[in-house]
Chain A
Amino acid sequence: MTMLASYLTLAAVLFCVGLYGVLTKRNAIVVLLCIELMLNAVNLNLIAFSKYGVTPSLTGQIFSLFTMTVAAAEAAVGMAVLIVWYRNRATVNVDEFDELRG
């Protein structure tokens, strides 16, 4: 159980670092990177539970593979959006993304 705890602690630390970056960084690319960090923290949890969980199974590992795939696609789309945005506005600062302000 100590192994699981240390994995989970690492994942939690990673998640919090990612969350901190998402909430505070102004550069959209860094924000995207931080989102990846949070996703990876989740992957780490999935894998840790699939190995050391109460009922160990491969489902968690397969799920994390899916997540990586989707995350890659998401990163690609996110980068594409950012490039288009940069062409139009010449900035990638998230705090200037306020088109939906009420």
Chain B
Amino acid sequence: MSTSFAEYAWLVPVFPLAAFAILTAMGKGARKTGPWIGIIGTLASLVLSLCIAFERMTDNADDYSKSIEWLQVGSLKLSAGFEVTNLTSLMLVVVTLVSFLVNVYSQGYMRDDDRISTFFAYVALFTSSMLGLVLSDNLLTFYIFWELVGVCSFLLVGFWYHKPEAKAAAKKAFIVTRIGDLGLLIALLLLFWYMPDHALDFTTIHNVFSTPGGVISVGITTLIALLIFVGAVGKSGQFPLHTWLPDAMEGPTPISALIHAATMVAAGVFLVARTFPIFEASDAAMTTVAVIGAFTAIFAASIGLAQNDIKRILAYSTVSQLGYMMLALGVGSVSAAMFHLFTHAFFKALLFLGAGSVIHGAHTQDIREMGGLGKTMKITAWTFGIGALALSGIPPFAGFWSKDAILAAALDKNGILFAVGAIAAFFTALYMARLYFLVFAGKPKQDGHAHESPSVMTVPLIVLAILSVVAGFVDTPFKGWLGEWLTGEAPEHHGSGIVMVVSVAVGLLGIYIGWLVYVKGTVRRDAVSSRAPALVRTLERKYYIDELYDLLIVKPLRSFGKALQAFDDYIVDGVVRLAGYSTSALGRLNSRLQSGQVQTYALTALIGIVILALAIAGRRFW
């Protein structure tokens, strides 16, 4: 093959980067042209990504990678480069497509914002970093882009920095993910230390860890895998570092869709998938990933049942779905995890953008204050409904196929993991039904000023809705095309009928109960809260995790800081002040002596002479 699109893959992140540079250079004046620059930048990336992906699908091309020597220190070489595999080309399409749609949507959503061009600049920078992360061929450049997306997330969560909650959320997002980043950094250093020739590129990692009885001992392998997983836990909002993700909803809604649902939070899953041979080499690490993933899935879904903020429900849903992906990885199915990542990116972005449209129209985020919006916001209601069905795992929508793949993989491995996943799926269907029926069904609770959003916002919704319907068909139990394409192996036949029946049954059951409670009213809404108020309050307070962290980590650290500050104020500053004070006290004393009274001076002189005389006389007696 002479030339292929893959050789130009490095251009994919360059387009948004150029858009970012132009937007920054233009400054705040570019209110009209700014959004277009962002849109065109991501559109160019999208077209190129699609070309790369289609090329790979048809030709079944070899992986293409190219790297340049970046730094040489002594005998040590660091390289930077990009790699195009089926996995990365899939991620490229997901990221550029969602980013493009979010850009278009933001043009409507952020129209009245003063800093709209800054917003588009940040989004372009984020898109560029995320694409760089996807394309990186070694862990070091991966880590650099990993941090860059973290910075963009911080900037965009705190975009409305005049709100104190947004400021606090941005700081929380940054600090909590930093804990994970530290784990990843240590893993990186350990890998650098133990790998032959200090190689950090994914291909070598793959080769080293795939060889049985390899160079690196099992203990170290487990340690590295767990530390990488800590990084993924931080970024992907897994328990116990999930607390930042729901708070990050203080950012603009398109950002929640792009960063905190579809792309950046999935980077943790992508990281584990990319370094999967390390995990496969350690049973302990695999079990940890599976257990944390399954626990997060059910834990976050149960919190989602009791929240009232439309975006927070979706945020906990994201945490829960990311838990599913981790579960899939933990039971050894990269293809199921990536499949769910792929479909989830579309339907969760759809749900968030739909929520943005609802907030835009209803001017509130509290679902208890909404109702009957289905009549006035038809397109939003329909597309949101499709997203909700896809999330709840109802066939034939995308979420069903990917969730089914995960549950089937879990059942192969462990019955308990499967049961946890199925219960979480029931919760998912229930909270989505509650959300949907409270917002769109029933009687309007407001004075009819809710209105449908402009077409610049609804068109991305429609596109995502279509994708949420069709995206699942790339990998069905009957024709497992995606799994084979991703992993290069013929898919193990997992299409067990029981799994499908169970997952559809729990999904429908959840929706039916939601319908009974919130539409029909046959079950009173306070049926649970009146019988078990403590349980409901615990769910509403998110299992008191934030309070626990506040008590265990924030308060001690803060009092430690206070103690250090007191040490600085009283001990360090005290010594300085004492030096100054004693000097000036001496000066004051001396100036008191300078009374200008000649007689006082004479008396002082006399006393001095008497002392001298006494001293001289006293010497005789020594």
Interface residues of A (CB under 8 A from B): 19, 22-24, 31, 94-95, 97-102
Report A52 CB to chain B, min CB distance, Å: 24
- Give the chain A neighbours of B216 by CB distance below 8 A: none
Q: Which A residue sits closest to B591, measured CB to CB?
A: A102
Q: Bound state CA distance, A24 and B602, in angstroms?
A: 10
Contact A23 B596 (CB under 8 A): no
Report B493 CB to chain A, min CB distance, Å: 102
14 further contact pairs, Cβ within 8 A, besides A95-B599, A101-B595, A102-B595 = A19-B606, A22-B599, A23-B599, A23-B602, A94-B597, A94-B598, A94-B599, A95-B597, A97-B597, A98-B596, A98-B597, A99-B596, A102-B592, A102-B594
Q: B590 within 8 Å of A by Cβ?
A: yes
Among A19, A24, A100: residue with most chain B CB under 10 A: A100
Contact A23 B597 (CB under 8 A): no
Interface size grouping (class) on chain B? 10 to 19
Q: Bound state CA distance, A97 and B594, in angstroms?
A: 12
Nearest 5 Cβ contacts at the A-B interface: A102-B594, A98-B596, A101-B596, A102-B591, A100-B596
- Give the chain A neighbours of B597 by CB distance below 8 A: 94-95, 97-98, 101
Q: Bound state CA distance, A66 and B129, in angstroms?
A: 102
Q: Which B residue sits closest to A100, measured CB to CB?
A: B596
From A23, A31, A97, A102, B590 is in contact (CB under 8 Å) with A102
Known contacts A102-B590, A102-B591; A97/B596 CB under 8 A: yes
Q: Bound state CA distance, A19 and B595, in angstroms?
A: 20
Q: Which B residue sits closest to A97, measured CB to CB?
A: B598
Q: B553 within 8 Å of A by Cβ?
A: no
Q: Bound state CA distance, A99 and B595, in angstroms?
A: 9
Report B472 CB to chain A, min CB distance, Å: 93
- Give the chain A neighbours of B606 by CB distance below 8 A: 19, 23
- Give the chain B neighbours of A98 by CB distance below 8 A: 595-597
- Give the chain A neighbours of B470 by CB distance below 8 A: none
Among A24, A99, A100, A102: residue with most chain B CB under 10 A: A102
Q: Bound state CA distance, A100 and B594, in angstroms?
A: 7
Q: B73 within 8 Å of A by Cβ?
A: no
Q: Which B residue sits closest to A25, measured CB to CB?
A: B599
Q: Bound state CA distance, A102 and B591, in angstroms?
A: 5
- Give the chain B neighbours of A31 by CB distance below 8 A: 599
- Give the chain B neighbours of A23 by CB distance below 8 A: 599, 602-603, 606
- Give the chain B neighbours of A100 by CB distance below 8 A: 594, 596
Q: B566 within 8 Å of A by Cβ?
A: no
Report B434 CB to chain A, min CB distance, Å: 83
Ordered by A's residue number, 11 sampled pairs between the chains whose C-beta atoms are within 8 Å are A22-B602, A23-B602, A23-B603, A23-B606, A94-B599, A95-B599, A97-B596, A100-B594, A101-B597, A102-B590, A102-B596
Contact A102 B593 (CB under 8 A): yes
Q: Bound state CA distance, A98 and B600, in angstroms?
A: 11
Q: Bound state CA distance, A95 and B596, in angstroms?
A: 9
Q: Bound state CA distance, A95 and B591, in angstroms?
A: 17
B555-594 residues with Cβ-Cβ distance < 8 A to A are: 590-594
Report B596 CB to chain A, min CB distance, Å: 3
- Give the chain A neighbours of B590 by CB distance below 8 A: 102
Q: Which A residue sits closest to B603, measured CB to CB?
A: A23
- Give the chain A neighbours of B598 by CB distance below 8 A: 94, 97
- Give the chain A neighbours of B594 by CB distance below 8 A: 100-102
Report A91 CB to chain B, min CB distance, Å: 14
- Give the chain B neighbours of A101 by CB distance below 8 A: 594-597
- Give the chain A neighbours of B593 by CB distance below 8 A: 102
Report A77 CB to chain B, min CB distance, Å: 15
Q: Bound state CA distance, A82 and B101, in angstroms?
A: 100
Q: Which B residue sits closest to A31, measured CB to CB?
A: B599
- Give the chain B neighbours of A95 by CB distance below 8 A: 597, 599
Q: Which B residue sits closest to A99, measured CB to CB?
A: B596
Report A30 CB to chain B, min CB distance, Å: 12
Q: Which A residue sits closest to B593, measured CB to CB?
A: A102
Report B289 CB to chain A, min CB distance, Å: 79
B145-168 residues with Cβ-Cβ distance < 8 A to A are: none
Q: Which B residue sits closest to A22, measured CB to CB?
A: B602
- Give the chain B neighbours of A99 by CB distance below 8 A: 596
- Give the chain B neighbours of A19 by CB distance below 8 A: 606
Q: Bound state CA distance, A94 and B83, in angstroms?
A: 98
Report B150 CB to chain A, min CB distance, Å: 63
- Give the chain A neighbours of B595 by CB distance below 8 A: 98, 101-102
Q: Mark B168-185, 1 if CB is under 8 A from A, else 0.
A: 000000000000000000
Q: Which B residue sits closest to A28, measured CB to CB?
A: B598
